[in-house]
Chain A
Amino acid sequence: METAAPSNPRRIRAIAPVIVWMVLPALVIFGAVYLVPLAKLVAASFFRDGALTLSNHLDLIGSASFRDIVLRTFKMAVVVTFFTLLLGYPAAYFLSRLAPRRAALLLLLVTVPYLTSILIRSYAWIVLLGPTGLINRSLLWVGIVDEPVRLMFNMTGAYIGMVQIQLPLMIFALYAPMQRIDRTLLNAAQSLGGNRASAFFQVFLPLSLPGVLGGSTLVFLSSLGFYVTPALLGGTGDYMIAQAIQVRVSNLADYDAASAQGTLLLLVVVLAFVLLRRRLTDGISESAAPAATGQRVGNGLRTERMPEAVAQRLHPFFRALSEVLTWLRLPALYLAMAFCLLYLVAPMVVVVVLAFSDAAYLTFPPPDYSLRWFRAFFSDQRWLSALWFSTLCAGLAAVLSTLIAAPAAFALVRRRFPGRLTLYLLLISPLVVPRIIIGVAVLFAFVPLGISGTPIGFILAYALVGVPFVVVLFVTGLRRFDRDLEMAAAGLGATPARVLSTVTLPLLVPTIVSALLFAFIAGFDDVELGLFISGPNATPLPIRMLENIRLEISPQIAVVGTLLFAALIGVFGLHLGVSRLRGLRRRFAKKMILSGTPPRPGAERGAKP
């Protein structure tokens, strides 16, 4: 590989200028709005009564309740990651087998959970899961149970809520790399005597592991920050570390205690990363990708050996499974996808019904229907300006975080330089550092700059929390990237810029779109940063919603969710229309032009799974 580590050890310190330029924008913004203020906050937690001390941290480590909270939080994050993977993998597999345009439509639907505030969504879950809820009523009616099953206000409820909100992230992280796996390999495996299922286990599964790693990293780390969902849907003891930290910041205004806890949480995560660093540096390096050419298969397998070995050991089991799955494959896939969509969309259906309620409070089904809450929304300038403010700031922030994080991800994957793992950890750390602590830190950074309570401040802060999503999704996307296509273009005389614009970026479209989307959502859904940097002329939608639901939950916020859902359906329709038009044009164009651009990988793929 041409970018491998220089052989001369003395040159290791000299990092190529091009790498510096790729990484610098991200580092500058991180340094200014995140690292420096955060470091001050963390430093403060090492002082007690003006003296340098470790006692704040040692007290915590010694406290049984803190260990209990940390353990519970990690356990919860592991379980959530497991279930999102279990549900998300078949769904992403299903989507990856569709024609990209059709998949895009379904992927759009997958983002539905992000359209509503957590509070209204949790009410929707109560409607569905409660003792007199739709699920229990159906179970009783069918006769599966004799009395209502407790599905909420216990860990089950918390998991149902948390897995739903993380599922879209997992599906997106899995989809982009899966979509680029060369299906001819599967055909090859089958032609060599394997059945469809064994071809899947031997070929597809190992090739999809970068997506599994990336998706699991994102889901696991962001699950550590859960507190509203377990607080609303969980039981009496489901108390998470993010909640303990939130209480210390919001109610006690004790930033030292909060940052001591945040520091320890971060430390545990960093420790885990360091222990796993071998796998992780492999994980962020470009493994010699698609096992298409003989030379590379050997290299490529190195990182995948472990699962393959496991697969070998489990061979008899897999064979039996393969036989079954070969027959059940299609129905099972359709069923898995349908279940995912139902799971993701069901609460939204309740929300839409609630939006048309005539009642002043939440009750399902509504006693009567009217448009009163829509009228109230559109006649209140404050709602409209908050909606506009959030859309604008989160949108620009998504672009900014993609612009700064994508080059850094390229550097991480394609270059070798000292401190790569550190850089990776730094860029994804905003996922682990509790959002509310970041809120305090950015406030202290922004006030001297005069940008607290301004759109600029919001764009920077939102970009910061969007970066981890962009980095992980790009690293995931680039790992399964077929460099041969780039080399071919370069070999044919294309300049690097032309290679980037005509080969690399078009191939990365699914990755770019998911990165923009999740960076957007990271800002658009944010409450904690908004609590700290809002101002008279800068109030985002979630803060407006929070104001509306603290004391009374009216159907008003269901309207916001419904409008966003309608916008999504609108985009859906538009997309459908445009792709139909494009299809017509392409058919026409094909007749006119004989030679074309290099075929898109997977273009020969069937449209049906």
Chain B
Amino acid sequence: MIDLNRRKFLATGAAAGGAFALPSLLSAPAIAQSLSGTGQVVVYDGGGAWGEAKNIAYFEPFQAETGIEVIRQPSGTVGSLRAGILAGQPAYDVANIGGSSIDGLARDGLLAPIDYGWFNAGDRDAFNPVAAGEHFVPALFYSLIIGYDADRFSSNAPLNWGDVWDVDVFGGGRSLATGAWGPDGGTFEAALLADGVPPDQLYPIDWDRAFRSLDRLKPEIIKFWESGAEAVQLIADRQISVGSAWNGRISGAQEQGLKIGGSWDQGILQWDAWAVPTGAANTENAMKFIAFASRPENQAVFAQNILYGPTNARAFDLLAPDRAMLLPTYPTQRDKQVVQNYGFWNAADAGQEANYARAVIEWERWLAGAR
């Protein structure tokens, strides 16, 4: 009963904070799981505005509701995560993993099966457009979109990848994510979309065509960006006029008053997931945390604090339209974008190399002029 009251309180609180509490949610199954427990849970933080949004939406309320202490652990890489699990001491109880890396870890038995018993009824099936899986639960959506100097292109702005490649109409330097990140920088998809490949025919990636397209833009590319922050900093410093950037970075810059525009058209929709490494010290607490972070009302608070899309689609019912329409998974926005096909990226090609690994090798060959 206490949980029920709290839940209601949260919904009202969210409404007062500018969000909508629609009847559909209030009439949802009434019994919420009690997640109370003891001890601690070590959770991937992420830092900066992202870490703060998680803290407000998940860490502090989880701690208050369950009595389980949340330890915020700085982010590592897939490589450090896998090594920790293999060595028998994973860095986190709850990891945050990019969608492109989930399959490989799960296939090798490095992720514990999610215990959906802790989930509130209805939450598991509400995940959309990516469903919750056996070993992972999507945590957030973000999109690799087109960012541009809004001072320079105030009337006629570059809207899609074709425009990014059109250096005659849209002058100035360019920057794309380094292809050494494989799928995570979206550079291969961007190159193909710019070359006129229809979104539904992107996969399997036509490597030759992608690199021919990159060849055409290369003279204008000042550099390939290496961190999410750099993509936007390059525009802010007027080093480039147009490039790829993550939507959260663009909106973050806009909130700070920087004149940077963004276009969702042909954006590459990506996602991260929560997962529990095999051998984590606090597995049960980790499952409880993920269940908590999968509740729509908590995801709505998260989306209030940072412009990453909720993965439990019912969170949209709790968000005011003017906030919801800024999110990458808002229906009209989502339809303009391409959901990145992690299935393709994890599949092995004929040479037995996973496509994400092949991307790195092809990229290095291209840089060396050996393609």
How many angstroms between the C-alpha atoms of A550 and B226 in the bound complex? 9
Contact A551 B49 (CB under 8 A): yes
Task: Check A252–B365 contact: CB distance below 8 A.
Answer: no
Q: Does A354 contact B (CB under 8 A)?
A: no
Interface hub of B40, B81, B83, B180 (most chain A Cβ within 10 A): B83
Does A399 interact with chain B (Cβ within 8 Å)?
no
Name the one of A237, A253, A359 contacting B78, with C-beta atoms under 8 angstroms: A253
Whole-angstrom distance between the Cβ of A534 and the nearest chain B Cβ: 7
Query: Known: A251-B181, A252-B182. Contact between A552 and B229, CB under 8 A?
Result: yes
Per-residue 0/1 for A409-448: is the Cβ within 8 Å of any B Cβ (1 yes, 0 no)? 0000000000000000000000000001001100110111
Contacting pair A547 B75 (CB below 8 A): yes
Closest B residue to A244 by CB, please name it.
B364
Binds A, one of B147-155, B233-241, B327-335: B233-241
| Chain A residues whose CB sits within 8 angstroms of the CB of B111 once the complex forms | none
A544 touches B73 (CB 8 A): no
Q: How far is the CA of A66 from the CA of B368 in the complex (A)?
A: 8
Contact among B83, B104, B224, B239 for A130, CB-based, below 8 A: B239
Contact yes or no, A444 B87, CB < 8 A: yes
A363 within 8 A of B: yes
Task: Compute how far the CA of A248 lies from the CA of B252 in the bound complex, rounded to whole angstroms.
Answer: 30
Cα-based distance from A15 to B150 in the complex (angstroms) = 73
Is A553 in contact with chain B by the CB < 8 A criterion? yes
A512 within 8 A of B: no
Q: Mark A242-272, 1 if CB is under 8 A from B, else 0.
A: 0110011111111101000000000000000
Residue B222 is within 8 A (CB to CB) of chain A in the complex:
yes
Specify which chain B residues have a CB less than 8 angstroms from the CB of A249 in the assembled complex.
77, 79
Interface centre among A231, A251, A535, A554, by most B CB within 10 Å? A251
Across the interface, do B239 and A447 meet the contact criterion of CB distance under 8 Å? no
- Asked whether A550 lies within 8 Å of B228 as measured between CB atoms, the reply is yes
Select one of A69, A361, A554 contacting B364, CB under 8 A: A69
Residue A159, interface by CB 8 Å: no
Among B40, B101, B229, B236, the residue within 8 A (CB) of A363 is B236
Report Cα–Cα, A536/B236, bound state, in Å. Answer: 36
Q: A549, B227: Cβ atoms under 8 Å?
A: yes
Q: For residue A45, give the distance in angstroms from its CB to the closest CB of chain B.
A: 15
Q: Is the CB of A65 within 8 A of B367?
A: yes
Given contacts A68-B370, A440-B83, contact A447 B88 (CB under 8 A): yes
Q: Is the CB of B89 within 8 A of A361?
A: no
Chain A residues, CB < 8 A from B367: 65, 236-237, 239
Interface size of B in residues (CB-CB distance below 8 Å): 67
Bound state CA distance, A447 and B279, in angstroms? 13
Contact B228 A551 (CB under 8 A): yes
Residue of A nearest to B361 (CB): A65
Q: Which B residues touch A547, using CB under 8 A?
A: 45-48, 51, 74-75
Q: How many A residues, CB 8 Å from partner? A: 65
B42 within 8 A of A: yes
Q: Are B48 and A252 in contact (CB under 8 A)?
A: no
Q: Which residues of A contact B246 (CB under 8 A)?
A: 551
Chain B CB within 8 A of A198 CB: no
> Closest B-chain residue to A133, C-beta based?
B237
Among A231, A234, A253, A536, the one with the most B-chain Cβ atoms within 10 Å of its Cβ is: A253
Contact A68 B368 (CB under 8 A): yes
Q: A250 contacts B78, CB within 8 Å?
A: yes
Whether a CB of chain B sits under 8 angstroms from the CB of A594 is no
Residue of A nearest to B221 (CB): A236
Cα A363 to Cα B232 with chains together (Å)? 12
Q: In the bound complex, what is the Cα–Cα distance between A237 and B231 (angstroms)? A: 18
Question: Taking CB as reference atom, which chain B residue is nearest A537?
Answer: B71
Residues in B neighbouring A531, C-beta threshold 8 A: 76-77, 80
Indicate whether A360 reaches chain B with its CB closer than 8 angstroms.
Answer: yes
Docked CA distance A255–B79 (Å): 8
A residues less than 8 Å from B361 (CB atoms): 65
Report the Cα distance A257→B356, complex, angstroms. Answer: 14
Q: Answer yes or no: A172 CB below 8 A from chain B CBs.
A: no
Q: A361-B256, A363-B236 are in contact. Are A247 and B80 (CB under 8 A)?
A: no
Contact across chains for B51 and A65 when beta carbons are under 8 A apart: no
Q: Is residue A602 within 8 Å, beta carbon to beta carbon, of the partner chain? A: no
Q: Please report the C-alpha to C-alpha distance between residue A255 and residue B85 in the assembled complex, in whole angstroms.
A: 14
The complex places the Cα of A69 from the Cα of B258 at a distance, in Å, of 38
Pick the contact of B48 from A235, A237, A440, A551 — CB < 8 Å?
A551
- Contact yes or no, B226 A447, CB < 8 A: no
Residues from 227 to 271 in B contacting A, C-beta threshold 8 Å: 227-230, 233, 236-239, 246, 248-249, 252-253, 256, 258
**A341 to B74 alpha-carbon distance, docked (Å):** 35
- Chain A residues with CB under 8 Å of B199's CB are none
**Interface contact A251-B74, CB-CB below 8 Å:** no
Shortest Cβ distance from B90 into chain A, in angstroms? 10
Interface residues of B in 349-371 (CB under 8 A from A): 356-357, 360-361, 364-365, 367-370
Q: A251 near B249 (CB under 8 angstroms)?
A: no
How far apart are the CA atoms of A70 and B370 in the complex, in Å?
14
Say if the beta carbon of A548 comes within 8 Å of chain B.
yes
B238 neighbours in A (Cβ, 8 Å):
131-132
**Residue contact B48 to A554, C-beta cutoff 8 Å:** yes
Report the nearest A residue to B101, measured CB to CB: A253
User: Which chain B positions have C-beta within 8 A of A136?
Assistant: none
The contact of B248 among A447, A448, A548, A551, by CB within 8 Å, is A551
Chain A residues in 8 Å Cβ range of B357: 252, 254, 257
Q: How far is the CB of A445 from chain B (nearest CB, A)?
A: 9
> Which residue of chain A lies nearest to B223 when distances are taken between CB atoms in the complex?
A153
A439 contacts B228, CB within 8 Å?
Answer: no
State whether A443 and B48 are in contact (beta carbons under 8 Å apart), knowing that A251-B180, A543-B74 are contacts in the complex. Answer: no
Cβ–Cβ < 8 Å partners of A543 in chain B = 74
Q: Is the CB of B256 within 8 A of A551?
A: no
Interface string of A475-491 (1 = CB under 8 A from B): 00000000000000000
B297 on the A face (CB < 8 A): no
From 9 to 57 in chain B, residues with beta carbon under 8 angstroms from any chain A beta carbon are 40, 42, 45-51
CA distance A248 to B40 in the complex (A): 33
Q: Which of B73, B224, B233, B239 contacts A553 (CB 8 A)?
A: B233
**Which chain B residue lies CB-closest to A452?**
B89
List, in ascending order, chain A residues with CB within 8 A of B223's CB.
153, 234-236
Q: List 14 A-B contacts (CB under 8 A).
A: A131-B239, A247-B360, A252-B360, A254-B357, A255-B83, A360-B256, A361-B258, A439-B83, A443-B83, A444-B87, A531-B76, A543-B74, A550-B228, A551-B228
Considering the complex of A and B, which 6 residue pairs feature the smallest CB-CB distances, nearest first?
A: A547-B47, A68-B368, A250-B77, A64-B370, A65-B368, A547-B74
Given A247-B181, A551-B228, 10 further pairs, Cβ under 8 A = A68-B368, A252-B182, A252-B356, A359-B256, A361-B256, A531-B77, A534-B91, A539-B74, A550-B75, A552-B252
